[in-house]
Each structure stands twice: as C-alpha cells, then as structure tokens.
Structure 1
C-alpha cells in the first residue's frame, strides 16, 4: 500500500488536525499543476495542494488534497454504513488516553472506545470512530501486546 487520500476544504485546518492532534509528520507538501495532474484527475487546468503525512517510515501515508482549481465544494459525507463510505484505520497505543485528549479538544467521535473482550493480537482490543474537520472517517484501534517473538505488523 502507498497512501490513503482525503479531499479537504482547508489545508491549514487539516494540517492542524493531522499533525498537531494526531501527531503525523509531513513527508511531502507541494502544489501540483500541469498536463500530467490535469490528465490524472480528469480536470482541465487542475491545480492541487497535496500534503503527504505519515509516521516517518515512508510506508503508508495519508494524502490530503485541497483542490485549488477546480475549487473543491462540500458534499454530504456518507454515513459509515452507506456504500461508498470509507475510513482510515489507525493503531494507537493507549486509546482511552487518546480519546480523552481528542474529545477535550472538540473532536467528534461516534462513541467512546468499544472493548472487545478476549481479543488476541493482532485483533483490536478496543476501537472507536472519529471524524476529521471535513467529516472523513478514521477508526482508532488499540491492540493487545504481541506475543513474545512476534514481529508486529
């Protein structure tokens, strides 16, 4: 896998969320325009502000895309159960603390962390859904410790 992309309305606000609240690091930040990008996205004279964020391992990134031309417009976000809905799963070490911190800063969650009794690595022992400032869904997961000698994936 290379990246998961989200179209956003305000890059500054999204960077505040993904960098400051979630702790992701910028891997690339650029304006893309020209024949290649116009052909790729299917819009003549396309101009996009794209930022890739990750954990620093350069394996899988979150790609934030703000369409500067044509300007992006808000659309209703599908509910989690609707066809076409998507989400990004993120593993965290202490979901309860993460939930408390983000909730205190106004992040919208579906519910507090749900607990899965008896979960065995690599299954999630806790999980919850939240939304970024544009309504894109993220699923936060906490795993039990990996058995000794297991390489974490």
Structure 2
C-alpha cells in the first residue's frame, strides 16, 4: 500500500548555498545533514515530501534543462499561499525570475505560477493551488 510521496533527489554544487536558498528563502526545513564518503547529504522537508540534496566532494558541472525531446525531470514545484509575495521576497534576494508570476494554464489544479532558478540554475516552480485543493 502506498503511504505517500517520500523524496526527490538532486545534486548541487554547494551545500551551504543550496540550504540558504531552499530553507532560508523558500521555507523548507532542514531535517538531516551529514558528511558522507563522497561529500555531503541533506534532507529538506517541504511539507508533503522531502528534497534530498547531495553536494559531492568533487566539482559539479552546470545544470542543463532537459530538452522536450528527452525524458527526464524538468523542475520541482512548491506550493505557497501567495506566489506574488514570494516573488517580491525572491527579487529582493536577487533570485532570477524566469517566467511569471502569471495565472496558471491548468486552472483546475493551479491558480498562480512563477518559475525561478536556484543557485545552480535548477528550475523551481512556485504555485498557488486552485480553490478546493
């Protein structure tokens, strides 16, 4: 029996910078951070699942967007009660806004949406859920 969504993992180039972004700016909560044989590992609680971030001891190459012609993860999405207020906060912190904020296309699921880039260039979608979700 499925219990729920557990976590998604990603690689970052700098653990401290990633924690500052995801916890300090986006509001996730650090639940575990430890040194491993290959670098550092952390689990950040997003309220409905976790974000596992790994910072290898070796240099990490740049993030690359997955082309629409290839299978793969395109972005992570986090839900907020006020996307526009989050955008103001992120702009003040110098975060790159890629698209939006704007009304969502899938209005049955999402009301407002904005896409930003994390410190490694990974695409992060911030949404306000549609009424009744």
TM range (shorter): 0.7 to 0.9
Partner Cα separation in structure 2 for residue 82 and residue 52 of structure 1: 31
Counterpart among 87, 107, 116 of residue 95 in structure 2:
107
Give 1:126 shift: 0.8
Map 1:72-151 onto structure 2 (within 5 A): 72-78=59-65, 81=68, 83=70, 84-116=72-104, 119-120=107-108, 123-146=109-132
Per the normalisation by structure 1, the TM-score is: 0.74
Q: What is the CA RMSD across the aligned residues, in angstroms? A: 2.2
| Greater strand fraction, Structure 1 or Structure 2 | 2
Tell me which residue corresponds to 2:40: 49
Runs of 5+ consecutive residues of structure 1 not aligned to the other structure: 34-46, 147-151
CA contact (8 A) 1:6 1:136 kept: no
Specify the structure having the higher radius of gyration (Cα): 1
**Count of residues paired in the alignment:** 128
Give 1:113 shift: 1.1
Give 1:48 shift: 2.9
Partner Cα separation in structure 1 for residue 105 and residue 43 of structure 2: 35
Per the normalisation by structure 2, the TM-score is: 0.84
Map 1:14-53 onto structure 2 (within 5 A): 14-33=18-37, 47-53=38-44
Runs of 5+ consecutive residues of structure 2 not aligned to the other structure: none
Give 1:27 shift: 1.1
Give 1:32 shift: 2.4
